[in-house]
Amino acid sequence: MKKESKMNNKLLLIGGYPKGYEEPFHTKTPSGKILRGILKKNKIEAVLFDLWCNEKEENREKLSSKIKLKLLEYHKKGFILVALGRKVQRVLNNYSLPCNYLPHPASRNKNLVLDLEKGLRELNGKL
C-alpha cells in the first residue's frame, strides 16, 4: 500500500475510528487483518481513512469541518470514496458526500466479506 502522502492512489477506504491505534485498519484489529489481506491478495492500492479519532466521536455521528474538507479534496482529486459499513455510509450521505458502499471488513457474515472483496476488485477495475 502506498502512503497517503504520495496521493497517487484512487481508492479511499473510509472507516469509523482507529480502535486505539495510530492508523486506520491497523493490522492488530480484525478489520485491519481482513481488509489489508484482501488488498494485498488482489494487489489493490488504497488510502485508508477514518472519520473519527475515538468511539465517543463516532457515536455522535458528526463530521468535523476538517474531515469534511479532506474528503472533498480527495473527491476532487479523482478518488473513489468507499464507505466501509452502513454507519459510515449514512454519515457521509447525511453530509452529502459522494460515496460507494461496501460491507465492513469485520462483518460476522462471511458472505458480506466476500462481497467486500468482490466490490473492491470491481471498483479497482474502474480506475
In CATH, which of 3.40.50, 3.90.930, 3.40.630, 3.40.225 is domain 4-125? 3.40.50
* Domain spans of the chain, in order of start: 4-125
Burial class (CB in 10 A: 0-12, 13-18, 19+), 60: exposed
Cα–Cα distance between 26 and 123 in angstroms, integer? Answer: 22
- For 98, phi and psi rounded to 5 degrees? -70, 135
Residue 93's SS3 state is: helix
Cα–Cα distance between 80 and 99 in angstroms, integer? Answer: 7
- For 91, phi and psi rounded to 5 degrees? -65, -45
The structure's pTM equals 0.90
pLDDT in tens, 94-125: 999 999 999 999 999 999 999 999 999 999 99
Cα–Cα distance between 1 and 48 in angstroms, integer? Answer: 9
Q: What angle do CA 60, 3, 117 make, to 5 degrees?
A: 70
pLDDT in tens, 42-59: 999 999 999 999 999 999
